[in-house]
Structure 1
Amino acid sequence: MGKMIIYQVLPRLWGKGKFSEFDSETMSYFKSLGVSHVWYTGVIRHATTVSAEGCPASDSQIVKGAAGSPYAITDYYDVNPYLADNPTERMTEFEALLKRSHDAGLKVIIDFVPNHVSRDYGKVGLVHPEIKPLGSDDDPTVHWRPENDFYYYPGQPLRLPFDRQTYYENPAKASGNCFSPSPSVNDWYETIRLNYCDFHTETWDRMYEIVRYWCGKGVDGFRCDMVEMVPWQFFQWLIGRIKTEFPDMIFIAEVYQKELYARYINEVGFDFLYDKSGLYDSVRSVVEGHGTAKSLTWNWQILGDLQPRMLNFLENHDEQRFASDFFGRDAQRTFAALGAGIFLNTAPYMVYFGEEIGERGMDAEGFSGRDGRTTIFDWWRISSIGRLIEYIHTNEGLAPEEAELLEKWRRFLNMAASVPAVASGKTFDLCYCNYDSPGFDPDRHFAFLRGDVSETWLFVCSFADGGSLRQAQRPEVISIRIPKEAIDYLDIKNLDPETRIEVEVSSDDCAMVRIN
């Protein structure tokens, strides 16, 4: 099995924003990148200001932006009507998308949002009215009891952070990220928090049935939102029970506390975790010029055997685009960071749609404004995505620099996905034995080997000095020492101990050299 490559895409922002936009040409494009899994983000029905037959619009005060947050769910058993060509046939159209993906050899990941739901969950139309909505049997006269799905503030109305309030809730329920009847403008005021307890309750059973429903539809995995905000005991129970019936189902956790990584993998049962607080933060600090490449070694040393279970990335819907003014500033600078993330080990890697052509996320987009991210709150025409879709269907449309960038991304992704030494081979970090090597700067350079029984590759990532923008320059020449320990560990044939290999690598790039 090759390395797992996930392509995250928000269907709302892809072409005309419909399931049907993901046609056979698009599936072929994903495959050309070495992609194995597509995470269709924002599929499950959420609060929005747009109505559809049987699905009234939500009050605008509990919708962020015009389209709404994909993480303010209004019906866990439904998909968004606006994603369908025929809204009344939306589930059939989603099932067709599943089939197209599977027929192309791609697996499908969707969101599971366990911590919170929209404030009007169950009140704006239910596709399965025979299933009692969350909170329908609650006692709102008490703040908490284990039988309740939500937390309440008896005698206190909800106070939203607006001068004139049009949405009313009495008693107020706790919001997704705070226990208060008066959430602030910076809180998740559009959501209400679920009450799990750290022991088995009916809420657990309801959420299990939701996950099982989507497993039955044929999805292949779940990206689980804000896992640390839900008792780990619930996930341990859920994953164990689901995998009894669906043993190949994948669970990916959004987790940020590194000290909890081992628990969520070894005890709870997640397949993969975000490594935002590890490799992402380390790489970003080096790119921005206030960190050292030594931290990349420190990160894998801390992770140890957990490394293959980390999901690495440079972008996702929560993070700023690499090419934005807030991060790397130039998409051509991506490749040292990409090389360190995608080639270092067998861990899966995630690409965010448009990243491969340098989308900058610098539009002033509705609710979120110009913040270096691609909006998840509004409908928006992203010009680079329009050009990418034209390219997918006509092989034309991309600017020359975008086409050049895409081909390099394709080369990196396919090497990671399909070259056995990289996809499944061993790793040997060379930094410790090259501190005094000619041309090697341990604060800017990161060197390692990947190998299996058939071949060995040397990778050298060179980060720009002090986070400066690229400048036209000759490649650096670095003399990399290959110690006997590496030769023995990787069983490298026909290479003398203490061999040095001269490597040319440009700033903000990753050199790849096959050495046997």
Structure 2
Amino acid sequence: MKDNHNKPIIYQVFTRLFGNNNNHCIYNGNITENGCGKMADFTIKALNEIKKLGATHIWYTGIIEHATQTDYRRYNIRPDHPAFVKGKAGSPYAIKDYYDVDPDLAKDIPGRMKEFENLVLRTHRCDLKVIIDFVPNHVARQYHSDSQPDGTAQLGANDDPAYAFSPYNNFYYIPNSELHAQFDMKGAAAEAYKEYPAKATGNNRFDAYPNINDWYETVKLNYGIDYQNGNTPHFNPIPDTWTKMLDILLFWAGKNIDGFRCDMAEMVPVEFWEWAIPQVKAQYPSILFIAEVYNPAEYKNYLFRGKFDYLYDKVGLYDTLRSIICNNGSATAITHAWQNLGGIEKRMLNFLENHDEQRIASDFFAGNPFKAIPGLIVSACMNTNPMMIYFGQEFGEPGMDNEGFSGRDGRTTIFDYWSIDTIRRWRNGGKFDGNMLTDEQKALYSIYQRVLTLCNEEKAISQGDFFDLMYANINGWRFNEHRQYAFLRKYENELLIIVVNFDHMSMDLAINIPTHAFNFLQIPQNPQYRAKDLISGEEEDISLLPYKATDISVKGYSGKILKIIL
């Protein structure tokens, strides 16, 4: 594996959808009708193609066994009540067995763990690193591990359900109350689902009446916080749940993976992470921990106390760029987004798509994937921190299918058996020859590939200094600070001038580079430098002087990364 100066470029892929070739899926179809992709579909050829895009890591989403409506009883897997499974395939965030691989993903179901281990080996052979989900806050309502190691107890096996909260319990209970969900608890089953006493629901619902908008298919895990009595912590002695979850982390780390993306990490007390992550890293020093955290007030807590490597930059950069791309916000907000992070911007994971968010090309976001190219350049190139893209984003996947449980909402389903049109065209039965892609898809892909590979080809991006030029260009004569954004990156004698245009029209810009930038980055002043645009490959002459604006023309929905050797 390469040195640590790599800027992580994470390719998130929804594992069960990637390899499904079925081009006539039916609404709410089962696994027999609609088919399902397998781990085996990530061939050496497929992995090399993902690597070619510029990826350094693959996040295989949905590896761990979760609740499903598919019947696997012949493999000694207990069935789940259909009223408490979202979609025919089920949510990958309703974990049913922390110690097993989802049977949907295996060609040989009894050998599914071996198939996963082989997937890790293949991925590493292609010089890519493996990230999987760790879902710590909640489990499927009918959680049951068939695969946990001997000598370990089931979650909840030793609980005393007479207590709403006990630091010795793994779950929270509603004593003497049966679960009464505010929807049909029978579903397709002969009998209604029974749960007595009711357990608290995953999204911190501490009563017996979850509704359709709750995470009703999950139950909340107890990390020693008494939420109903002023959030009182009970961390001494170490809660039983902590020990069980550390064992699970160590189990998967032992499969030679390279990182965990920790689902809803902020719903688990930071004290648990502070205790667990150093113990995992003591045995596996290079393993990454990425937290899904949405509350900026908690960022530093989870980074410095909780020991996470990276956090999602969702409510900052993602929301800002989405607003600008949709022409609802000003590009000046990008400066505020990174400044608000107060020095932790190198520890944030940037993205424009993931499984939770709407597709850029969907009617609900930009409608046109090319509108997000300026946002791609900004989020990928403005710092040394990781960038993530979601499979199909690079081809403009619109996510406008009505798959089943997941309606026509601009998202690619995580609940249904389905097949993704752009990915199917790209794979073309495993040939990856480009023959089924449209010219527009090829054009978009080539821009993504160029930008993402530059992130590690150019040390100015992966390791260099960053200088935001916006403050010197407010009310510019030929620069609209609401629709353009400009910044510098520098490493040793290499300078990048990066300019993006969120507007649909081509613009001839005059960009002020202030004296402070020349001093801070130690740029020699020169009326004529030869610059190469790293995206198009074209060269142009530009001047770099503090008292005279630099002329740069940029096409609509586009950007330039001008490289100058000083």
Give, as a single letter, the amino acid of the residue that structure 1 aligns with 2:106. Answer: A
Matching of residues 17-28 of structure 1 within 5 Å: 17-28=37-48
Residues 91-110 of structure 1: pairs in structure 2 closer than 5 A: 91-110=113-132
**AA aligned opposite 1:180:** D
1:196 maps to a residue whose letter is Y
Which residue of structure 1 aligns with residue 442 of structure 2? 403
> Residues 454 and 396 of structure 1: is their aligned pair in 2 closer, same or farther, counting only changes over 3 Å?
farther
The equivalent residue for 1:162 is 183
CA distance in 2, matches of 1:397, 1:273: 37
The residue aligned with 1:427 is 466
Aligned to 1:369: 407
Q: 1:127 to 1:147 in 2, by over 3 A?
A: closer
Question: Does 1:292 find its partner at 2:317?
Answer: no
Structure 2 counterpart SS, 1:3: coil
Which of the residues 232, 251, 267 maps onto 1:213? Answer: 251
Distance 1:482 1:211 in 2: 49
Q: CA deviation at 1:402?
A: 0.4
Which of residues 150, 171, 183 is equivalent to 2:171?
Answer: 150
Range with greater deviation from structure 2 (152-161 or 65-74) = 152-161
SS at match of 1:76: strand
The residue that corresponds to 1:467 in the other structure is none
Who is 1:80 aligned against?
102
Listed as ranges, the matches of 1:288-367 within 5 Å are: 288-367=326-405
- Structure 1 residue 126: Cα displacement: 3.8
Q: CA deviation at 1:382?
A: 1.6
Aligned residues: CA RMSD: 1.4
- Correspondence for 2:283: 245
CA offset at residue 395 of structure 1? 3.5
Match among 216, 220, 244 for residue 189 of structure 1: 216
CA contact (8 A) 2:425 2:434 kept: no
Do the aligned partners of 1:119 and 1:191 also contact (CA within 8 Å) in 2? yes
Q: Which amino acid aligns with 1:158?
A: L
Q: How does 1:22-171 map to 2 (within 5 A)?
A: 22-52=42-72, 53-122=75-144, 125-126=146-147, 128=149, 130-163=151-184, 165=186, 166-171=192-197
CA distance in 2 between counterparts of 1:348 and 1:69 reads: 26
Contact 2:65–2:100 (CA under 8 A) maintained in structure 1: yes
Deviation at 1:444? 1.2
In structure 2, C-alpha distance between the alignment counterparts of 1:131 and 1:375, rounded to whole Å: 35
Q: Does 1:490 align with 2:521?
A: yes
CA distance in 2, matches of 1:481, 1:60: 61
Which residue in 2 is equivalent to 1:514? Answer: 563
Question: 2: CA distance between counterparts of 1:128 and 1:18?
Answer: 25
Q: State the secondary structure of the residue aligned to 2:350.
A: strand
Q: CA deviation at 1:270?
A: 0.5
Structure 1 residue 220: deviation in Å? Answer: 0.7
Amino acid aligned to 2:63:
V
Q: Deviations over 1:178-211 (max 9, x none)?
A: 1111101000110000000141211100000000
CA contact (8 A) 2:426 2:433 kept: no
Corresponding position of 2:538: none
* Alpha-carbon distance in structure 2 between the residues aligned to 1:424 and 1:316: 25
- Aligned positions of 1:429-448 closer than 5 A: 429-448=468-487
CA distance in 2, matches of 1:392, 1:331: 25
User: How many Å separate the matches in 1 of 2:431 and 2:350?
Assistant: 26
Displaced runs of 4 or more, over 6 A: none
Counterpart check, 1:393 vs 2:442? no
Matching residue within 158, 178, 200 for 1:174: 200
Cα 1:70–1:258 shift into 2, 3 Å: same
> Structure 1, unaligned stretches of length 5 or more?
465-469
Native 8 Å contact 1:29 1:392 kept in 2:
no
User: Which amino acid is the alignment partner of residue 195 of structure 2?
Assistant: E
Moved more, 362-371 or 281-290: 281-290
Q: Are the counterparts in 2 of residues 339 and 461 from structure 1 also a CA contact under 8 Å? A: yes
Identity %: 45
- For residues 375 and 125 of structure 2, the distance between their equivalents in structure 1, rounded to whole angstroms, comes to 33
Counterparts in 2 of 1:84 and 1:209: CA distance versus 1, 3 Å: same
Normalized against structure 1, the TM-score is what? 0.96
Supply the distance in 2 between the matched residues of 1:394 and 1:51 (Cα, whole angstroms): 36
**Alignment size in residue pairs:** 507
* 1:7 is the counterpart of 2:27: no
Is the CA contact (8 Å cut-off) linking 2:381 and 2:461 kept in structure 1? yes
Mark the runs of 5 or more structure 2 residues left unpaired by the alignment: 21-36, 187-191, 225-232, 527-544
Alignment CA distance shift 1:201-1:243 (3 Å)? same
8 A Cα contact 1:337 1:508, kept in partner: no
Q: Secondary structure at the match of 1:486?
A: helix
Kept after mapping to 1: 8 A contact 2:117/2:255: yes
1:30 Cα offset (Å): 1.4
Aligned to 1:415: 454
From 252, 266, 269, give the equivalent of 1:228: 266
Residue equivalent to 1:450:
489
Mapped contact 2:89–2:415 kept (Cα < 8 A): yes
1:264 pairs with 283, 290, 302, which one?
302
